[in-house]
Protein backbone atom coordinates (compact mmCIF):
# COMPACT_ATOMS: atom_id res chain seq x y z
CA UNK A 1 0.00 0.00 0.00
CA UNK A 2 1.10 3.55 -0.64
CA UNK A 3 -0.04 6.91 0.68
CA UNK A 4 -1.61 9.31 -1.78
CA UNK A 5 -2.64 12.94 -1.21
CA UNK A 6 -5.52 14.67 -3.02
CA UNK A 7 -5.88 18.44 -2.64
CA UNK A 8 -9.06 19.81 -1.10
CA UNK A 9 -9.62 22.62 -3.60
CA UNK A 10 -11.96 24.90 -1.57
CA UNK A 11 -9.50 24.75 1.35
CA UNK A 12 -6.51 26.29 -0.45
CA UNK A 13 -5.82 29.68 1.16
CA UNK A 14 -3.63 32.69 0.38
CA UNK A 15 -2.93 34.71 3.51
CA UNK A 16 -1.28 38.10 3.75
CA UNK A 17 -0.09 38.34 7.35
CA UNK A 18 2.02 41.06 8.94
CA UNK A 19 5.21 39.00 8.96
CA UNK A 20 4.86 37.03 5.70
CA UNK A 21 2.54 36.25 2.81
CA UNK A 22 1.88 32.52 2.68
CA UNK A 23 -0.31 29.93 1.08
CA UNK A 24 -1.87 26.99 2.87
CA UNK A 25 -3.10 23.85 1.10
CA UNK A 26 -5.09 21.01 2.62
CA UNK A 27 -4.89 17.46 1.23
CA UNK A 28 -6.87 14.29 2.01
CA UNK A 29 -4.62 11.36 2.85
CA UNK A 30 -5.61 8.12 1.13
CA UNK A 31 -4.09 4.66 1.13
CA UNK A 32 -3.82 3.07 -2.31
CA UNK A 33 -3.24 -0.64 -2.76
CA UNK A 34 -4.54 -3.92 -4.08
CA UNK A 35 -7.91 -5.20 -2.86
CA UNK A 36 -6.42 -8.16 -0.97
CA UNK A 37 -4.25 -5.75 1.08
CA UNK A 38 -7.37 -4.12 2.51
CA UNK A 39 -9.49 -7.27 2.75
CA UNK A 40 -7.69 -10.64 2.87
CA UNK A 41 -10.98 -12.45 2.13
CA UNK A 42 -11.48 -10.61 -1.17
CA UNK A 43 -11.67 -12.64 -4.39
CA UNK A 44 -10.73 -9.69 -6.62
CA UNK A 45 -7.37 -10.15 -8.29
CA UNK A 46 -5.34 -7.15 -9.42
CA UNK A 47 -8.00 -4.58 -8.55
CA UNK A 48 -6.67 -1.31 -7.10
CA UNK A 49 -8.54 0.35 -4.24
CA UNK A 50 -8.09 3.69 -2.49
CA UNK A 51 -9.51 4.52 0.92
CA UNK A 52 -9.29 7.70 2.97
CA UNK A 53 -7.33 7.38 6.18
CA UNK A 54 -9.19 10.11 8.05
CA UNK A 55 -6.11 12.33 8.17
CA UNK A 56 -5.29 15.62 6.45
CA UNK A 57 -1.91 16.90 5.25
CA UNK A 58 -1.43 20.66 5.58
CA UNK A 59 1.26 22.30 3.44
CA UNK A 60 2.53 25.85 4.03
CA UNK A 61 4.07 27.80 1.10
CA UNK A 62 5.61 31.11 2.22
CA UNK A 63 6.82 33.78 -0.19
CA UNK A 64 10.43 34.19 0.91
CA UNK A 65 10.75 37.84 -0.16
CA UNK A 66 7.94 38.86 2.25
CA UNK A 67 9.30 37.10 5.35
CA UNK A 68 10.28 39.32 8.27
CA UNK A 69 11.97 36.45 10.13
CA UNK A 70 14.17 34.44 7.73
CA UNK A 71 14.68 31.69 10.32
CA UNK A 72 11.01 30.70 9.86
CA UNK A 73 11.99 29.36 6.43
CA UNK A 74 13.97 26.58 8.12
CA UNK A 75 10.90 25.31 9.98
CA UNK A 76 8.87 22.31 8.88
CA UNK A 77 6.18 23.14 6.30
CA UNK A 78 4.21 19.87 6.08
CA UNK A 79 1.98 18.58 8.87
CA UNK A 80 -0.37 15.58 9.04
CA UNK A 81 -3.31 15.80 11.46
CA UNK A 82 -6.82 14.53 12.10
CA UNK A 83 -9.78 16.01 10.23
CA UNK A 84 -11.09 17.72 13.38
CA UNK A 85 -7.79 19.46 14.07
CA UNK A 86 -7.48 20.44 10.40
CA UNK A 87 -10.94 22.05 10.58
CA UNK A 88 -9.92 23.99 13.69
CA UNK A 89 -6.74 25.16 11.94
CA UNK A 90 -8.76 26.21 8.87
CA UNK A 91 -11.11 28.24 11.10
CA UNK A 92 -8.12 29.87 12.81
CA UNK A 93 -6.53 30.80 9.48
CA UNK A 94 -9.75 32.29 8.03
CA UNK A 95 -10.63 34.54 10.96
CA UNK A 96 -10.87 38.29 10.47
CA UNK A 97 -7.51 38.89 12.15
CA UNK A 98 -5.22 36.58 10.18
CA UNK A 99 -2.51 34.92 12.27
CA UNK A 100 1.14 35.60 11.66
CA UNK A 101 3.12 32.95 9.82
CA UNK A 102 5.11 31.79 12.85
CA UNK A 103 1.90 31.45 14.88
CA UNK A 104 0.20 29.45 12.11
CA UNK A 105 3.19 27.08 12.03
CA UNK A 106 3.04 26.73 15.82
CA UNK A 107 -0.67 25.86 15.69
CA UNK A 108 -0.12 23.32 12.89
CA UNK A 109 2.78 21.75 14.79
CA UNK A 110 0.62 21.50 17.92
CA UNK A 111 -2.29 19.97 15.96
CA UNK A 112 -0.10 17.34 14.31
CA UNK A 113 1.28 16.04 17.61
Buried b (16+ CB within 10 A) or exposed e, 24-41: bbbbbbbeeeeeeeeeee
CA distance 91 to 13: 11
- Residue segments in the chain with a per-residue pLDDT below the cut of 50: none
CA distance 13 to 67: 17
- Structurally, how many domains does the chain consist of? 1
- Answer for the pair 73, 67: CB distance below 8 angstroms, yes or no: yes
pLDDT at 69: 85
pLDDT at 113: 67
CA distance 14 to 81: 20
- For the entire predicted model, the pTM comes to 0.81
| Residue 66: other Cβ atoms inside 10 A | 13
Full residue range of the structural domain in which residue 35 is found: 2-112
CA distance 87 to 69: 27
Name which of 97, 20, 113, 8 is nearest 59 in CA terms: 8
Amino acid sequence: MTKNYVEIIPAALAIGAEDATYGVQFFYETMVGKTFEFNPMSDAVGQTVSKRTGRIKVLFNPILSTMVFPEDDAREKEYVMSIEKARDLYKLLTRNNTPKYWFALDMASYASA
